[in-house]
């Protein structure tokens, strides 16, 4: 297609779509592995991976095959009836993640909402918190989704402004501060909800030992630890789950995004038996949650992740990518940080924002996106090769130093 057609796409989006996103002006039509193509035929290395939803790469053939096979047999039964993909999905994801129970949902935000409901119910029925007094502690600069209760405990003004009134029952503490967490705990605290690494905030990595300290505090005070691994999980940081970097296990772990390899919406609350054990029939559900198509896709997406060495590749290529990014010389760069293939370059505020660099990268064939105005995230699919990393680094260096 020509440039006029591309302009038409932008015009229609602007006229008919809600303006709740500010994407780069590139219109993609095809993807394979780490690469995507726009409607004009230009090829790009994808360094966002749909916010880590396509860890396995675009259109992975094994996942595609599993999707097509299941789609030709049975896609949806609702949970009114059982299907032959749900139990194998439960078995395989529990064995892989050392979980005892699973609650399948569709989106990451649904997984977060489900966890909030479950820990409140656990607090009343098991811990003995007085009715309607349950408290959940969250972290400043968190990102757990866009639903009303979630934005109610966000500290991002753009996420909150003019969406109130908000649900009570949440306390906000600084991220990475175990002393602040301990000070916020009361007898009515039922959970601590935290990202192992804050993704939307700009790949903010907490101090070493923070998650271990949080685990110890939650155990000591009978508080459930909820780790939101929707973005950090499934290989992104060089481990299956980011909690493994500190050798901890959450009471509830939330996964989504790459759980389907980008083919279909599916998320899950992974839990010990005690917390999800409080749910009884009719108390929570989803028409599409646990549907056979989603389960078949997720089963293959998990197998691909493990069997094709993507987690190990994330650790290896990520360490190299990070060191090379740190070697880029530009006085506008404030900090380079990351773990696995979850990387960020933060610029000083006076640099004028990161978006201009994202457009420069786009022109060179690298797609990345700014977050919180001053930071670029680099998060390619976990299939990325050393040659592809070098190809990207050559262009990143030229844009950031040009």
The catalytic residue positions are: 143, 228, 257
What angle do helix axes 310-326 and 386-401 make, rounded to 10 degrees? 30
Contacts 24+ apart (CB under 8 A), 35-38: 36/367, 38/6
Among 93, 79, 122, which Cα is nearest to 276's?
122
Asked whether the beta carbons of 325 and 336 are under 8 A apart, the reply is: yes
Report yes or no: 354 and 370 within 8 Å, Cβ to Cβ. yes
CA distance 204 to 396: 21
Taking the C-alpha atoms of residue 143 and residue 200, their distance in angstroms, rounded to an integer, is 6
Q: What token pair was written down for 42?
A: 């230009």
User: Is the omega angle on the peptide bond into residue 380 within 30 degrees of 0, that is, cis?
Assistant: no
Tokens of 22: 């500010």
Do the beta carbons of residue 253 and residue 243 sit within 8 Å?
yes
Q: How far apart are CA 303 and CA 63, in angstroms?
A: 9
Residues with Cβ within 8 Å of residue 293, at least 6 apart in sequence: 67, 70, 71, 74, 75, 76, 85, 264
Give the C-alpha separation, 178 to 176, whole Å: 6
Specify whether the CB–CB gap between 334 and 348 falls below 8 A. Answer: yes
Helices in 200-346 by DSSP H: which ranges?
210-220, 273-276, 292-307, 310-326
């Amino acid at each position: 297609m020509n440039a006029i057609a591309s302009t038409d796409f932008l015009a229609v989006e602007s006229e008919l779509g809600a303006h709740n996103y500010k994407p780069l002006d590139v219109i993609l039509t095809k993807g394979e592995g780490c690469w995507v193509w726009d409607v004009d035929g230009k090829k790009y290395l994808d360094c966002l991976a749909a916010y880590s939803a396509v860890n396995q790469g675009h259109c992975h053939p094994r996942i595609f095959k599993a999707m097509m096979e299941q789609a030709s047999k049975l896609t949806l039964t609702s949970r009114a009836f059982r299907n032959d993909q749900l139990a194998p999905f439960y078995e395989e994801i529990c064995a892989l993640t050392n979980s005892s129970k699973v609650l399948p949902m569709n989106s990451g935000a649904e997984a977060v909402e489900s966890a909030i409901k479950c820990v409140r119910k656990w607090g009343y029925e098991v811990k003995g918190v007085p009715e309607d007094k349950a408290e959940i502690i969250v972290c400043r600069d968190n990102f757990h989704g866009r639903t009303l209760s979630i934005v109610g405990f966000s500290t991002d003004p753009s996420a909150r402004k003019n969406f109130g009134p908000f649900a009570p029952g949440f306390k906000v503490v600084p991220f990475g501060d175990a002393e602040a967490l301990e000070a916020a705990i009361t007898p009515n605290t039922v959970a601590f909800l935290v990202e192992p690494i804050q993704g939307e905030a700009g790949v903010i990595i907490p101090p070493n030992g923070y998650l271990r300290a949080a685990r110890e505090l939650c155990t000591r005070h009978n508080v459930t630890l909820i780790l939101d691994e929707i973005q950090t999980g499934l290989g992104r940081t060089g481990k299956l789950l980011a909690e493994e970097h500190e050798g901890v296990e959450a009471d509830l772990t939330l996964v989504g995004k790459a759980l389907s390899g980008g083919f279909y919406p599916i998320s899950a609350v992974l839990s010990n038996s005690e917390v999800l054990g409080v749910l009884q029939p009719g108390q929570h559900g989803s028409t599409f949650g646990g549907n056979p198509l989603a389960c078949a896709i997720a089963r293959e997406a998990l197998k691909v992740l493990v069997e094709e060495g993507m987690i190990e590749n994330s650790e290896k290529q990520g360490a190299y990518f990070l060191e090379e990014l740190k070697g880029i010389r530009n006085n506008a760069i404030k900090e380079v940080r990351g773990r696995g293939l979850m990387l960020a370059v933060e610029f000083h505020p006076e640099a004028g924002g990161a978006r201009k660099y994202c457009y420069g990268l786009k022109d060179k064939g690298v797609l990345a996106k700014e977050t919180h105005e001053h930071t670029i995230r680099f998060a390619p699919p976990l299939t990325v090769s050393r040659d592809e990393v070098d190809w990207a680094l050559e262009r990143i260096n030229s844009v950031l130093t040009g």
